[in-house]
Amino acid sequence: MPYETSIHLLQGGAVLVECGPMRLVIDARIGKVAQPQQSVRAAEQAVRFLEGVAQARPFLGHGYRELTPVVTDPLALKMIASAQAVGDDDLTPMAAVAGTMADAVADFLFHRGMTRVLVDNGGDVAIRSCDGEPITVGIRPRVDSQGISHALVLGPERTAWGVATSGFGGRSLTRGVLDAATIVAADASLADAAATAVANASCIADNAVVRKPAEEIDPHTDIAGLDVTLGIGVLEPENRQKAIDQAMRRAEQLIASGIILGAFVACQGLNTMTRFISERLRAV
């Protein structure tokens, strides 16, 4: 059944498009001048992108290692590639779906002459810029909060960035206990898959953590058979630190492999970040 689609012009010239599970905010500019007509065109294209991914969904909810020969949609192939790059066995290509959609829309606009593009897909953000100006991105200490605790400044040394956040209370199921794992990468697809992996790496044993098989929470889940976090009370202090340490070790591995560019993780008042981000991160 086709998804119901709505497209709305927002104050300031950005556009909101909602279609099934997709909720994109698209902001396209030439210089400092908003280009709402181009954003509307991109919103219409986003729906077509979603239709292509939806057709491949029966395959994308499974392990990524043997999928490439049976999938032809270019965005589905990018999702598979991002899951493969991160490499965790408990990831499926669906771990990269939000970021991949954001990337596709951002590239659509950037290739049409926009000099600054931000596409926010529920907190997974694709950024494209060639205007020479830094871009400031807010960092949330909790994935389910609108509050901003830090500001991340992305410099003009790159034209493409991806920033994605995962953790307990977000749109997707997590196996860990982090309130937020925010990842910076060369694009949002990689950042999305990596954020899932880093958040999952914070899985620790604690009496305050309630877990259930994923299929008991979502019968359509792509990670059936795996336990996911259902509830978190107050963790023991040493376990909070252990969760942070485990997540950061996974992030550092991904940085060393060239998969991501930096990470910020937070757990019940504790937070830390990799050196890459710390040079550009400030409290707000």
Q: Give the best-scoring range by mean pLDDT among 57-61, 224-228, 255-259.
A: 255-259
| CATH number, domain containing residue 129 | 3.10.520.10
pLDDT tens readout for residues 98-145 = 999 999 999 999 999 999 999 999 999 999 999 888 999 999 889 888
Torsion, Cα of 167, 117, 102, 188 (10° steps): -50
- For the segment 83-101, the average pLDDT, to the nearest whole number, is 94
Identify the band that residue 2 occupies on the pLDDT scale cut at 50, 70 and 90: low
pLDDT at 67 over 60: no
Average pLDDT, the chain: 92
- For the segment 158-172, the average pLDDT, to the nearest whole number, is 92
Give the chain's domain count: 1
pLDDT of res. 172: 84
- For the segment 54-61, the average pLDDT, to the nearest whole number, is 84
pLDDT of res. 157: 87
pLDDT of res. 274: 84
pLDDT of res. 160: 96
% of the chain exceeding 90 in pLDDT: 71
Phi/psi at 125 (nearest 5 deg)? -120, 130
pLDDT at 28 over 80: yes
Whole-number Å distance between alpha carbons of 88 and 75? 20
Q: Strand, helix or coil at 143?
A: coil
Instruction: Give the residue numbers spanning the domain of 208.
Output: 5-283
- For the segment 63-78, the average pLDDT, to the nearest whole number, is 77
Residue 202 Cα to chain centre, angstroms: 17
pTM, two decimals, is 0.93
Whole-number Å distance between alpha carbons of 140 and 182? 8
pLDDT at 1 over 50: no
